[in-house]
């Protein structure tokens, strides 16, 4: 567990220049506080004050890759299991300005580590988010518009694909004509219809939800979970005209498709195999696959079910790490046809809805932010509804979500 050092604190404090006034939006102070995320763990919230208050909260993930940026915690096991946030790292950031690139570059330079282990990814992100919000405020534009301008996104085109995870399974309302309609379709299928099916088949206890609001019934394998989704799509009335339910969902007229967040690194064994029954230890090895046989299983799923996307390239492999992304591009992993970008929540979330504006500002085409049943997840969806209303006549990506 990384610990803060007085040396890094002094370095950070001495490295910032006096605030540069921009449009009367000079930074008066930056302060961090400890709040609690949706899993009951401490996280950081950062206030940046100019003539207004700009507040951001940082989420935290449960499944983290080995290349992921490091969250800085104090390590004292007697308090919140050692997960208390070292807020003094943000409290001394009193001399910054609203240029996003400048602030981010300075923090990264001061940190100087490949995994943000000196300042902590949580401290860096919290400050960066609030600076971004303040930058939008200084220009008098919505946050998503500011993100669009600083990222160089040419088109604000798409309202976003919405995906609700049920373990590794997601619903994609590609046949909707607006985000509001997509949100309604997904909510009807996933949270209402599917809940009734699960209750009837597995009992009331199976309707309890996990960290991200998804149901977790006692399904025996992935195919059983996919069949549940198909059943819910049919009962909600979103299939085509074919007689067979599977043919209906495979048909282009079906307005709802399926996605899977594989997260294969979670069940990768030490000998390079993939154990799909990894949650049961020990087990008889009946569900252990080689890389090739796992790929063959994916192909079977695509043939049998209306699966549009597998989320298994980025996430744990790239973990938003520029070095890892550059390596992927060099190896042409990122050059494969149809490689899309998904903005994702984390398992430990807050009511901060920054990623909704981020998805629109980057025109990512996809956002994954959980089931529509917990306020920290709904905060993002509700913000997207507001943005769509504000934008007026805006195109919903639909099946063009990879390149909106």
Q: Are strands 341-344 and 365-368 parallel, antiparallel or unpaired?
A: parallel
* Helices of type H across 17-163: 88-91, 100-111, 121-139, 143-151
> Tokens 């206890």 — which residue?
205
Instruction: Report CA-CA distances (Å) from 375 to 47, 267, 372.
Output: 21, 30, 8
Other C-beta atoms closer than 10 Å to the C-beta of 223 total 14
* Measured distance CA(60)–CA(158) in Å, rounded: 27
Sheet of strand 365-368, all strands in order from the earlier edge strand to the far edge: 161-163, 365-368, 341-344
Q: Are strands 257-260 and 169-172 parallel, antiparallel or unpaired?
A: antiparallel
* Measured distance CA(303)–CA(217) in Å, rounded: 24
Could you tell me the sign of the dihedral formed by the alpha carbons of 57, 59, 65, 66, in that order?
positive
Q: What is the CA radius of gyration of the chain?
A: 22
Q: In sequence order, which residues have a C-beta less than 8 Å from that of residue 103 and are 6 or more positions away? A: 96, 97, 127, 128, 131
Q: Is 357 marked as a binding-site residue?
A: no
Other C-beta atoms closer than 10 Å to the C-beta of 237 total 11
* Measured distance CA(49)–CA(232) in Å, rounded: 47
Q: Map residue 403 onto helix, strand or coil.
A: coil
Q: How many residues does the chain have?
A: 404
* Helices of type H across 48-165: 88-91, 100-111, 121-139, 143-151
Q: Which residues are annotated as a binding site for Mg(2+)?
A: 261
């Amino acid at each position: 567990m990384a610990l803060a050092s007085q040396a890094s604190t002094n370095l950070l404090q001495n490295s910032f220049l006096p605030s540069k006034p921009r449009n009367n939006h000079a930074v008066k102070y930056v302060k961090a506080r400890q709040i609690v995320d949706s899993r009951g763990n401490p996280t950081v919230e950062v206030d940046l004050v100019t003539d207004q208050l700009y507040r951001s909260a940082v989420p935290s993930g449960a499944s983290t890759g080995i290349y992921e940026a490091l969250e800085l915690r104090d390590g004292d096991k007697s308090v919140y299991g050692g997960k208390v946030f070292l807020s003094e790292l943000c409290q001394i950031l009193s001399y910054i300005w609203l240029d996003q690139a400048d602030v981010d570059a300075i923090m990264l330079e001061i940190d100087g580590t490949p995994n943000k282990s000196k300042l902590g990814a949580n401290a860096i992100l919290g400050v960066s988010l609030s600076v971004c919000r303040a930058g939008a405020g200084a220009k008098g534009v919505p946050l998503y518009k500011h993100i669009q301008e600083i990222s160089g996104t040419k088109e604000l085109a798409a309202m976003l694909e919405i995906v609700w995870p049920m373990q590794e399974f997601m619903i994609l309302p590609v046949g909707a004509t607006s985000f509001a309609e997509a949100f309604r379709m997904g909510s009807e299928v996933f949270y209402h219809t599917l809940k009734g099916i699960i209750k009837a088949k597995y009992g009331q206890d199976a309707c309890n939800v996990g960290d991200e609001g998804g149901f977790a019934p006692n399904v025996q394998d992935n195919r059983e979970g996919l069949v549940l989704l198909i059943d819910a799509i049919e009962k909600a009335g979103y299939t085509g005209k074919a007689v067979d339910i599977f043919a209906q969902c495979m048909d282009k007229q079906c307005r709802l498709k399926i996605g899977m967040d594989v997260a294969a690194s979670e069940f990768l064994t030490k000998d390079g195999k993939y154990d799909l029954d990894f949650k049961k230890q020990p087990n008889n090895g009946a569900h252990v696959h080689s890389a090739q046989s796992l790929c063959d299983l994916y192909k079977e799923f695509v043939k049998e079910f209306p699966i549009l996307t597998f989320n298994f390239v980025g996430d744990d492999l790239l973990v938003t790490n520029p070095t890892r992304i550059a390596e992927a591009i060099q190896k042409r992993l990122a050059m494969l046809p149809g490689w899309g970008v998904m903005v994702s929540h984390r398992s430990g979330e807050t009511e901060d809805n920054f990623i909704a504006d981020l998805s629109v500002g980057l025109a990512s085409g996809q956002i994954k932010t959980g089931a529509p049943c917990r306020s920290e997840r709904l905060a993002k969806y509700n913000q997207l509804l507001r943005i769509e209303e504000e934008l007026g006549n805006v195109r919903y990506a639909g099946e063009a979500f990879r390149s909106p």
